[in-house]
Structure 1
């Protein structure tokens, strides 16, 4: 029979600043010691502090994207007194690049590289959000929200921005040899490749012989055209729906 040892860290004590800092330091030391000595460690601090972000944000090319994060604890008033700064960073291939910072003393600061692109929507030490204006393809990627707490270090979480492009679909209707049939097509261009759908609301109408053609354009957008035969026509009041969406869009 094998015995195992597990150490459970202290529960955060918020009765005073001195007690909080001492217990925070002890928790960090215990975590390192347990790791170095192959002892299981239950971190009660990580279980009581939660950084809430959107895991994924979708934004259409040219529109604005909103990124937000919220730091919650069971005693938010004491927690906020520990936070001195909130920083947004963009994850690049080899580094984290500062985008914008809200500091308790110095207020809002946007990095020079992002001044014409990013602004704060909500500047706070617990609730913080930014707006990325006129989203371009290069704005896509993951952003990290970092809460700096004195003297206890930092906590962070990330949210990833997915940028998509989608142009309005185009519907075309052509008469066939039969007076009760028409050839209808729905075409849309986007990135990634859009899903194109033809629909008819009237029950007596029917779409058949569907055919889809996909073309990749020189700018890396994709044009998808779906064609079908519409049968059951008796007058000119027929309505045909043509819709398009992309997997990373709404």
Structure 2
């Protein structure tokens, strides 16, 4: 027996004293035997090129021989012959068969059951052929009741076996459960896990525990409430902003335009100088008109007689 991926040692020895010329290892194939390696006292150890990276001698002798097959796979599975070529009896043959198994580390899982006084312990193991899965609890005052067993055949030829059991009874300290798996007569693999302490419920708390459920819903409601408040405040601020903008627009329309400032105040210095010159010229013209004598439009009549001087 050998595990997949490991190495295996095949050994044979001759129980009778014979004159051995050569020792040959052969593998059984559908079309006959194929030489794997040979040893003799003249040429020493020789390995077939097809097996050079796979097989090596562990012990080379004419009365006993051992070879090691590394990283065994399904292709290495089968029967091997060990031939002692003697003189004059010919070949004396011994046969050994290699059978592979595959076993992966077990996976142990613990979950709560519907009852607060029980937990369900399950263990899964994958191997070839189907592994044996055994659950056990280390505390003597507790026991595991078989729950279920499921077998699944995988596409690569392996088999996954899952076994579950119910652990019942109260315990005051942490409990350790274990899972042992084995394939055929290969070595056993184990996994262990500590189950946290389970406290016994009082009569007042005999009903289901909804604390986790309540806390979850409180958190959900808090998030919903905060979201609603945020949305309402955002809407109110938006409406207030729109009303403020509308009110400012109305005030701009109703407010009359400010009267124009005094021309003297708004005029630029150059403009003021020009205006002063124009006013001065107009004022001079008006003054000249007042001082000049008025010319009558009628021609005065000429006096025909001079007035008499008084006596």
TM-score computed with the length of structure 2 as normaliser: 0.58
Match of 1:27 in 2: none
The DSSP-based 3-state class of the residue aligned with 1:240 is strand
Q: Which runs of 5+ in 1 are unaligned?
A: 1-57
Residues of 1 paired with 2:85 and 2:4: CA distance?
32
TM-score computed with the length of structure 1 as normaliser: 0.72
Pick aligned residue for 1:135 from 50, 72, 75 = 72
CA offset digits 1:75-104 (Å, max 9, x no partner): x4xx3xx10100000011120110010112
2:7 is equivalent to residue 70 of structure 1? no
Match of 2:178 in 1: 241
Residues of 2 paired with 1:241 and 1:249: CA distance?
19
CA offset digits 1:131-152 (Å, max 9, x no partner): 0001111101000000000232
Match of 1:208 in 2: 145
Q: Which runs of 5+ in 2 are unaligned?
A: 188-311
Match of 1:54 in 2: none
Displacement of 1:248:
5.0
Match of 1:166 in 2: 103
2:54 is equivalent to residue 95 of structure 1? no
Residues of 2 paired with 1:229 and 1:171: CA distance?
14
Change (3 A) 1:198 1:206: same
Pick aligned residue for 1:217 from 148, 154, 166 = 154
Residues of 2 paired with 1:233 and 1:132: CA distance?
52
The DSSP-based 3-state class of the residue aligned with 1:138 is helix
Taking the TM superposition and a 5 Å limit, the aligned residue runs for 1:10-159 are: 58-73=1-16, 76=17, 79=18, 82-159=19-96
Residues of 2 paired with 1:209 and 1:99: CA distance?
49
Residues of 1 paired with 2:169 and 2:41: CA distance?
69
2:164 is equivalent to residue 227 of structure 1? yes
Residues of 2 paired with 1:94 and 1:226: CA distance?
43
2:122 is equivalent to residue 185 of structure 1? yes
Query: Which is bigger in relative contact order (C-alpha 8 A, separation at least 6)?
Result: 1
Residues of 1 paired with 2:9 and 2:173: CA distance?
45
Higher strand share: 1
Q: Number of aligned residue pairs: give it.
A: 187
The DSSP-based 3-state class of the residue aligned with 2:176 is coil
Residues of 2 paired with 1:216 and 1:102: CA distance?
43
Q: Does the CA-based 8 Å contact 1:164-1:248 persist in structure 2?
A: no
